[in-house]
Structure 1
Amino acid sequence: MAQHRAISPDDCPRCRQVFAALEERQIRDPEAEITTREIGQAAGLKERATQVHLRHLFEHSRIDADRRTPLSGVGQPVLPGAQAWAASVTAPDPTCAKCLVALAGWGWDGQVDVKELAAMAGVSVRSVERHRPHLVDFDLVRFRSASIPAGGGVFNGAKPAHFTLMSGFYARALNDAERAEVPARAAAVIDRVRWFVGVTEAERELAAEAVGFVLRAGWPDEAILKALDASEDRNAFNPSGYLHKLLGKLRGKRYLIPAQHMFTGAGAPRVGSCWTCKDAVKTTKPEGSKLWCGGTYCLNAGTVHDTSTVRPIHRTRTA
């Protein structure tokens, strides 16, 4: 095995057989799925040997990270988006690194079966099951189980698990200026929870205080709203109690930043204010960024929304 790692895939007859099988499949039907066993059958190899040669081809940039797409040219392929991030991460071990890059082939988040992940990574299902907890422990992936409801509180099996790629970094502590904004942000979060109605003013203030506690721990507004099912129309028997129950899942925990937000610089969708006219603007830019309702300019500059102290950002040319 050590001798095999030391040679080029071009000098390995079995690597060439595997590569030829991938090229034939690419020409015949590039959209068709092909398993490691099927590649081995086409190359005259057993499944385990096929995995070894697929890994060797990938390590020498002969095939893409999906272990199925043959590449031409020299050098490591440039991987888009999630795979570019995964390829740059220092994983706990080489097998974890393969699983992470393969998982990123589905995007920043998605749903994947363990057998599909094993085939994509070029490893066995057992290896995936053994190394998947390592990725979770290193805060690189979060998995959520998905059951198939059969009605009456009964479940009929499970679907492939949902996953989200995580950056491994937690949100920083708020500075003094940001902490001063917490009460207003907390009140705005409560106002956007559609089912939090029919409560007293005292209950609303207590709810805002509870949200403020989570905000001070670094949780962004949109992540809290998602945890509170803010957009759902539901009839909560005890809205205040239900809100505190949901917040209890976040209280005492730090916010782990998703990999997409760290890599792209864009956060979860949130509502901010236009820097010029103060109209509401939906954005994914981080807190503190200057926003305009027209993207790079204010749509209302020079209208009744404008003020004498604000210089219009954009004006249309008139004939």
Structure 2
Amino acid sequence: MTSIDVPITTKALGTLVDLGERATYVHLAHLVLHSRLMADRRTPVPGATVGAPAETPVEQIQTPLDWVLTVVCRDRLCRRMLVLCATHADAAWAAQLGVAQIAAALGVHRDTIRVHRRHLSEDKLVKIERVSVRYESGHFRRDTDRYVLQSGLLVMAQVHPVPLVGRNHNEDWAHSILACARWWAPPATPKGKEATRQAVRLLVQVLAEHGWPSDEVRRRIEITPYDDVHDHLSLLRSLLRDCMEPYVIAARDHVSGTPAGRVQCARCSSPFPSWSRAVPGQVCSDTEACAERAGDVPAHAALHLG
């Protein structure tokens, strides 16, 4: 038997197409299942063709599930996880699911789910957000994670040459964003001034170099601390910890062309705080204040009209 007659090994075949041996086994089985290869997993079926999938126009994508069907994933389980997230997604194209819940739905072990959700995160197809529940006592408890569907598309960074300090648009931009943080009030000392300079450089990096939208950065820093702030710069860095990587466009934003932003009250359109667990369609808990903002007349006030 000559070297030509020796079939190529699965490992060597995977090396040619930049796949691991296990992933190559999965793809070969898929081609056999769909009558593209013979049972020996090497011989093409006569007349069978493999073409590129047809692209779905953006205007035809209406739901998260429509979008998932256009996405190329690493393997079958990653796609099944995306389909599950899309099925449970809310109006912001995000689903809150636990690892045990996903494992039970897909019939696999929880460790397998952790591996494949890391694949989806690395491929910028989901953004995993931790969700915490705050009790009246002030203690927090971690809830199930929230999976935000991502498009995999990165925002082009706005790289500018480094000009003189305080004489460029980016630093003015950073100062305007920093002014939205009411808790930012470092002492008027050399140490406090240096903290402000470092904060501006940090915001320039987040906004201009990594491409994060102003509204998203402002949403993260517009908080009300429960205690007095002693180290302003450390608090700012902790709030922007997730912004140290390039911004990935969310799937919903890519399809609709408009950012999701904060969830707003369905009655008065007032945005809920960034730390709240509000969902689209929810209304304010203070019904009278909500009605006043919406311009409605409360029932008890209507009796005095006339």
- Paired residue for 1:163, among 129, 147, 161? 147
The equivalent of 1:109 in structure 2 is 94
Find out whether 1:84 has 2:66 as its counterpart. yes
The equivalent of 1:69 in structure 2 is none
Deviation for aligned residue 1:215 = 1.5
- Contact 1:167/1:257 (8 A) holds in 2: yes
CA distance in 2, matches of 1:231, 1:117: 32
Find out whether 1:253 has 2:245 as its counterpart. yes
How does 1:134-153 map onto structure 2 within 5 Å?
A: 134-146=119-131
SS at match of 2:88: coil
The equivalent of 1:182 in structure 2 is 170
CA distance in 1, matches of 2:225, 2:236: 17
Which letter maps to 2:122? D
CA distance in 2, matches of 1:170, 1:214: 14
Deviation for aligned residue 1:231 = 3.5
Tell me: CA distance 1:247–1:182, structure 2 relative to 1, closer, same or farther (3 Å): farther
- Contact 1:99/1:118 (8 A) holds in 2: no
CA distance in 2, matches of 1:91, 1:141: 11
Find out whether 1:222 has 2:215 as its counterpart. yes
Deviation for aligned residue 1:187 = 1.4
Percent of counterpart pairs with the same letter? 22
- Contact 1:223/1:268 (8 A) holds in 2: no
The equivalent of 2:183 in structure 1 is 195
CA distance in 1, matches of 2:100, 2:239: 35
CA distance in 1, matches of 2:244, 2:98: 32
CA distance in 2, matches of 1:146, 1:182: 32
1:226-285 Cα offsets, whole Å, 9 max, x none, are: 332x14254443253334432662575222222222222222539xxxxxxxxxxx9xxx
Find out whether 1:240 has 2:232 as its counterpart. yes
Which letter maps to 1:98? R
Instruction: Give the length in aligned residue pairs.
Output: 196
Which letter maps to 1:224? V
Which letter maps to 1:132? R
Tell me: CA distance 1:211–1:111, structure 2 relative to 1, closer, same or farther (3 Å): same
Which blocks of at least 5 consecutive residues in structure 2 are unaligned?
Answer: 1-28, 36-59, 263-270, 272-306
How does 1:1-319 map onto structure 2 within 5 Å?
A: 80-107=62-89, 108-118=93-103, 122-126=106-110, 127-146=112-131, 159-174=143-158, 181-197=169-185, 199-200=187-188, 202=193, 203-217=195-209, 218-228=211-221, 230-238=222-230, 240-246=232-238, 249-250=241-242, 252-267=244-259, 269=261
Which letter maps to 2:232? S
1:146-203 Cα offsets, whole Å, 9 max, x none, are: 46678999877x53222222222222121659x9532222111011112113543835
1:125-157 Cα offsets, whole Å, 9 max, x none, are: 45534422221221211223446678999877x
- Contact 1:210/1:247 (8 A) holds in 2: no
Pairwise CA RMSD: 3.9
- Contact 1:148/1:159 (8 A) holds in 2: yes
Q: Answer 1 or 2: higher relative contact order, Cα 8 Å, separation at least 6.
A: 2
Tell me: CA distance 1:162–1:239, structure 2 relative to 1, closer, same or farther (3 Å): same
Tell me: CA distance 1:241–1:145, structure 2 relative to 1, closer, same or farther (3 Å): closer
Tell me: CA distance 1:168–1:233, structure 2 relative to 1, closer, same or farther (3 Å): same
